[in-house]
Structure 1
């Protein structure tokens, strides 16, 4: 397989100093939406989508809080669709989209790939469709999947993988791509593991936000810690999974490369590798 690391939305919130970035309180930080594009024998597999062309055309659907707090650039060239085309492929070449979760900055590009089968955990799909709380109404945007995707849902039954249970392969034909339950940030949040010739890649989604959170002496900037608490659906479970990821990195870091969805340093390092 060939794997491309894409940034499918740059976000520039104020408060760089509080977010672990260089600069002062009134400077803007840089965050990414780290997306994987995987070339397989069964076509292209996209892990998360970032913001989509529909979000760029109608930013208001993302909500005023998202736009004002996170300051997305809304650059059409950063959409996964634009980058897929720049690599010489078409939207129809994307056969599968695997979602870590359905937050608006992860599922925004679904409608750009209408023929793709969309894989995610059943708990996440149920939460997004129900949108029972005010928080859910702000994070799940029905316009992003109004085209009616072909959903492939997974329950909690599966195999063990490096101590994580309930892990599922996409299919018998796609055993190198796994859905790894990492619930907490949202009800059905998952990581996505990809087997490569050099070992495993684990896209941990929003299970954590800052690379230092997985260090031997874990550290999380104050602004990010507050944001995590505010956006967690099940905070205790998210924190447990973050600690499990930290232990995995410390004990099996040569076998599994872990990165989250938004840390720019991790994204840049993956691109260099």
Structure 2
């Protein structure tokens, strides 16, 4: 069985400052939006999710699950039809068919749907789980412990140093597929990773929140002001974030024939991949 990949938007957001966050190629008056770009991978041995976006429990209890600040600032659509669970069921699968979830990081808009798949193993880079369990004073409000009350079945991975286009890589799911890798891209959070998936002769690299705007990995970056400031302000490791962003840009420019990159929240990139599902 070959790998099949579905691109899912698991949480549309229309931020309060949308014109600053996501102007499209200079069209500053165009209504902006952000997405939560997740992957569903049909692979031998079961389904694999890369990130989960917002889940059904987040929609049921947005103030309790998402906090007081996130909903009014980011204005998530809170639509059951956008949850990973609903979209997977629409494809003819059950929640129990999702055997593995690979997380780029544990921010609330990436991990909210974990509780919809309680039987899945959740693969995470060790520094990210450590940050979640011991967030420190400045990070206590960043992560939402209630999203993890169901006690996920964590599978913790440490850096192995295997080379992938000059990046360290970690075999995400030993014994299941050699073509799904965690790629440490720390900076946005202390244990942030990308997830690389090989389909045929090409690789897809889900970069999570290592960047926000599609132009950041091109020859001529033109990043909306709000997006640029938000990336800087929220970074746990600012210098590492900048370093890894530069490395991703070099990867995109030097290996365009072998690797395709996309980030979690850019709607331009999502539209590029979403139709048709691959």
Superposition TM-score tier, normalisation by shorter sequence: over 0.9
Q: Which residue of 2 aligns with 1:114?
A: 118
Of the three residues 91, 95, 104, the one matched with 2:95 is 91
Q: Aligned partners of 2:195, 2:246: CA distance in 1, in Å?
A: 17
Q: Say yes or no: does 1:20 pair with 2:18.
A: no
Secondary structure at the aligned position of 1:193 is classed as strand
Distance in structure 1 (CA, Å) of the matches to 2:247 and 2:170: 15
Query: Which is further off, 32-41 or 15-24?
Result: 15-24
Gaps of 5+ in 1: none
Is 2:247 the partner of 1:244?
A: yes
Aligned counterpart for 2:132 among listed residues 123, 128, 131: 128
- Aligned-residue CA RMSD (Å): 1.4
Q: Distance in 2 between matches of 1:9 and 1:170?
A: 26
Kindly state the Cα deviation for residue 63 of structure 1 after the two structures are TM-superposed. Answer: 1.5
Tell me: higher relative CO, structure 1 or 2? Use CA pairs within 8 A at least 6 residues apart: 2
Check whether the contact 1:178–1:192 (CA below 8 A) recurs between aligned residues.
yes
What is the DSSP-based 3-state SS (H/G/I as helix, E as strand, rest coil) of the residue aligned with 1:133?
A: helix
Shift in Å at residue 133 of structure 1?
2.5
Residue segments in structure 2 that go unaligned for 5+ positions in a row: none
Asked whether the equivalents of residues 16 and 28 of structure 1 are also in contact (C-alpha less than 8 Å), the reply is: yes
1:101 is matched with 105
Q: Is the 8 A contact 2:105 2:111 kept in 1?
A: yes
Q: Is the 8 A contact 1:160 1:167 kept in 2?
A: no
TM-score for the superposition, normalised by structure 1: 0.95
Q: Deviations over 1:117-174 (max 9, x none)?
A: 000101000101112123x222211111111111111112230100002433421332
Judge which range, 118-127 or 163-172, deviates more: 163-172
Output the TM-score relative to the length of structure 2.
Answer: 0.94
CA distance in 1, matches of 2:255, 2:220: 17
Q: Does 1:75 align with 2:79?
A: yes
Aligned with residue 5 of structure 2, among 3, 11, 21: 3
